Amino acid sequence: MAANSIRKRQTLRGGEQRRYQSSDSKSSSGSEIKASSDGSNKSSGSGKLSTKEANTEASSAGGTRRSLTFAIGGVLTLLGVAGYTFFRQPTVDIHSAATPSTSILSSPTQTALESVSTKRIEAKKKLDGLPSKERREEAKKLGMLTEEEVDAILHAKENSWHLAPSSSNALGLRVDTNQVSSNDPIEDYLAWSPLGIFSEVEADKSPSVPRYMFSVFDGHAGYMCAEQLSLRLAPMLNESLDVVSKLVNQESSTSEIGKELVSTVKQLKRDSGIEWDQIPLALTATFIRMDYELVHGALAEFRKLQKMSTIDKLLGPAVSGSCGIVAVVDTEAKEVVVGNTGDSRALLGVRLKDGRWKAVRLSEDQTGSNQKELERMMREHPGEPSVISRGRVLGALMPTRAFGDCRYKWPLEAQQDLFPVL
């Protein structure tokens, strides 16, 4: 029963929200920031970084250059890495492309990638079917990749594009993305979307918008949860922003998902007892509602249909899991609001007057090694000292908050009924 109560009460709770507001709207376009893969650089720069839980005043440094870098923490050679870097580009051409532009791989790079693929196939043939001990010994005998092959892997999925300013008061953005896979299929997804557009007609009329959503979804135990988040979270966030705006103006939402979000937003405001700004409120409501649909909504739909042919599609995203970090970038307000659940990280790169770069963390890792998270888990699970064991939830899951992972959220009877066939 103790384990069951843990599973039912280990909920998302909306993640963490942080906001960064620029104090310098006239700085020139930025140079690239180099951030450590484990996000360990922590220092202050210009501007103001605040959160509902803590406020950090950063020292003034007028005329600085800023970029925002998303990166999934981890050792590059062991873990998949996915990330964004944003650069402020006030003078970007209004006709710049609004979609990713991938450079055609050079012949040496393509040749190196083909060599890597061949080596992977040969290694798989040697290692498949071996007992674990023999597998480890044989793996030690495999040859190392060449410097050219490693470099090709690191550059293979690079993308870069510009987002034009929506008005004379807005900033343009240059966006750079990259992914390095540690498994196949890759479990991590990048997703970005303009906000405030609800139809293709609106998109045609207004090719540039002031707000964008950029996100990294770090999947685990499979790719399906992260994949669904990459497809579904942006439209729901769009709805949430509309719902919150209408509630402020005392208007009603007519869409079905809008009505469900209204209930979530009202409950969130009532339970928290604090005043919310619109974007953090919309982000938090979106995280909560999205997780509910993935975990509990899908379970209800499967039980209604009772068709085994739908089990993978409906319940696959619930069985797997994903961390999620989302930034809403408002180019007119010159503001970035970050929502996080799990252990992905957002960093703000600040270039100071003397040319040095400083990295400011915009999110907190939500794991058992975070003392605040550890205290929260123990407080929410009194009398259950093993809720965090070996730094993990029930000794297994590293992040203390995540999307999906239904084994920690479904009622015990649902797990006993479905896990044997999942």
- pLDDT at residue 128 in the model: 92
The whole-model pTM stands at 0.75
φ/ψ of residue 252, rounded to 5: -105, 150
Q: What is the Cα–Cα distance from 279 to 85, expressed in whole angstroms? A: 21
pLDDT digits (tens, 9 = 90+) for 315-350: 999 999 999 999 999 999 988 999 999 999 998 888
For range 370-374, the mean pLDDT: 94
Q: Helix and strand tally (H, E) in the chain?
A: 12, 16
For range 360-371, the mean pLDDT: 92
For range 204-212, the mean pLDDT: 73
- pLDDT at residue 207 in the model: 58
What b/e sequence results for 329-367 when a residue is b if at least 16 CB atoms lie within 10 Å of its CB, and e otherwise? Answer: bbbebbbbbbbbbbbbbbbbbbbbeeeebbbbbbbbbbb
CB 206 within 8 A of CB 385: no
- pLDDT at residue 35 in the model: 27
CA–CA distance from 144 to each of 111, 122, 136, 150 (Å)?
A: 17, 13, 15, 10
- pLDDT at residue 262 in the model: 85
pLDDT at 163 over 70: yes
Q: What is the Cα–Cα distance from 65 to 61, expressed in whole angstroms? A: 10
CB 45 within 8 A of CB 350: yes
Mean pLDDT of the chain: 76
- pLDDT at residue 354 in the model: 92
**Token pair of 82 as six digits:** 């996915």
φ/ψ of residue 27, rounded to 5: -70, 155
Confidence of residue 173 (pLDDT cuts 50, 70, 90): confident
More confident residue, 134 or 259: 134
CA–CA distance from 129 to each of 121, 124, 183 (Å)?
A: 14, 9, 18
- pLDDT at residue 330 in the model: 92
- pLDDT at residue 199 in the model: 62
For range 39-55, the mean pLDDT: 28
Confidence of residue 174 (pLDDT cuts 50, 70, 90): confident
For range 93-106, the mean pLDDT: 46
pLDDT digits (tens, 9 = 90+) for 271-285: 877 788 899 999 999
Least confident of 158-167, 258-267, 280-289: 258-267
- pLDDT at residue 5 in the model: 28
pLDDT at 381 over 90: yes
β-partners of residue 347 are 69, 361
pLDDT digits (tens, 9 = 90+) for 383-416: 999 999 999 999 999 999 999 999 999 999 999 9
